[in-house]
Structure 1
Amino acid sequence: MVLVYATRDELVAYAPANLKARVPDEPEATRLLTSASQVIRRATKTAIYDTDAQNYPSDVDIRQAFRDATCAQALWWTETGDETGVAGQFQSMSIGSVSLSRGSASGAAAAGGQQLAPKAETELRDAGVLAGSIVQTYPWEGWF
C-alpha cells in the first residue's frame, strides 16, 4: 500500500497566495503528492512514532507535519521544476544552446538522489521526526 500524506485540496490550502507556479489539476496532483510522500517517508525512515492500522502517524501533530512536509515538497518541485533532482547534479547549466557542466556540487542532489525541500525539512524537524530529533519524552526522562 502506498501512503499519500496529503490531498490536492490540502495542497491548495497549504500553498501561499503568491505561488508563482500553479497547483496541478488531477490526476497530476495525486501523482505529485504520491512522489512527495515517498520522499517524506524516506526522510523519516528511522523516525519512531506511533501509527494507525493503515500505517499513517496516529499522533495528530505528527500526521499534520507529514501532510505539511508533503505539500511543501510538492510545491518546491512545482516552483523549481526539478522533481527528479537532476538539475542539482550540475554546478552550472544553460538552456540556450545547452551547456551543462558537472563539478563540485555537493549534497543529496549531487548524488542524483531526490533532495528534501527546505520547508519540508523544517516541518519534519519541528515535529521531531528527523534523525537527531527527540520525538517523545517520558516522565522518567524529565532531566532533559
Structure 2
Amino acid sequence: MPQRVYATKTDYDKYAEEAWTEDYALLSKRLRSASIEIEKLSRSAIYDVDDDGYPTDADTTEVLAEATCAIVEHWQLTDDPYGVDAAAGAVKIGSVSLGTTSSASDTLSAREKLERRIGSRAVDILTNAGLIGSAVAHT
C-alpha cells in the first residue's frame, strides 16, 4: 500500500500562516514526509477508516490535514525537514557554543524532543484531537 498523504497544496494554503513560495513539487514531497510523521504519531489512535486507511470522519480528516501542514510549516521556518538540527544539540567551536548544551538536550522530555522535530503546533493539534499517543502528550 502506498504512503497515505493527509494534506494537499490547497490544505497548506488554508492552514499555513505563510504562503508556500518554493516549487510545488517540493511541497508535495514535504506533505508526504509530514504524513509519515502523522502516521507514526497517531498509530495507536482509534478512528474509523476507509479501505485505503484514510479517516472517514470529516473532523478527523481535517485535524490530520492541519497537523500535516503545521509540520511542513515548522520545517520551513526551521529549515530542518530532516530533523538533523533538532537532534544535533549544541555545536561547540573552541569556547563558543551554539544551540543547547548536550546536557540540557539530554533532559528534554519526549514531548519537547518531538516539538523540536515537528513543532509544537502540530503536537498541540494532534493532542487536542486525542490522536497522539498518551506517552508523548503527557510528558
Structure 2 length-normalised TM: 0.76
Q: Which has the larger radius of gyration?
A: 1
Are residues 124 and 109 of structure 1, via their aligned partners in 2, closer, same or farther at CA, if it must alter by over 3 Å?
A: closer
Give the alignment partner of residue 53 of structure 1, picking from 27, 38, 51. Answer: 51
Matches within 5 A, 1:1-144: 1-16=2-17, 19=18, 22-93=20-91, 103-104=102-103, 105=105, 106-107=108-109, 115-132=117-134
Unaligned runs of 5+ in 2: none
Are residues 90 and 37 of structure 1, via their aligned partners in 2, closer, same or farther at CA, if it must alter by over 3 Å?
A: same
Query: What is the letter of the counterpart of residue 121 of structure 1?
Result: V
Structure 1 length-normalised TM: 0.74
Unaligned runs of 5+ in 1: 134-144
* Structure 1 residue 125: Cα displacement: 1.3
* Structure 1 residue 131: Cα displacement: 2.0
Question: Which structure shows the higher helix fraction?
Answer: 2
Root-mean-square deviation (Å) = 3.0
Query: What is the letter of the counterpart of residue 71 of structure 2?
Result: Q
The answer to whether the 8 Å contact 1:65/1:127 transfers is yes
In 2, Cα distance between the equivalents of 1:47 and 1:90? Answer: 30
Residue identity over aligned pairs, in percent, reads 31
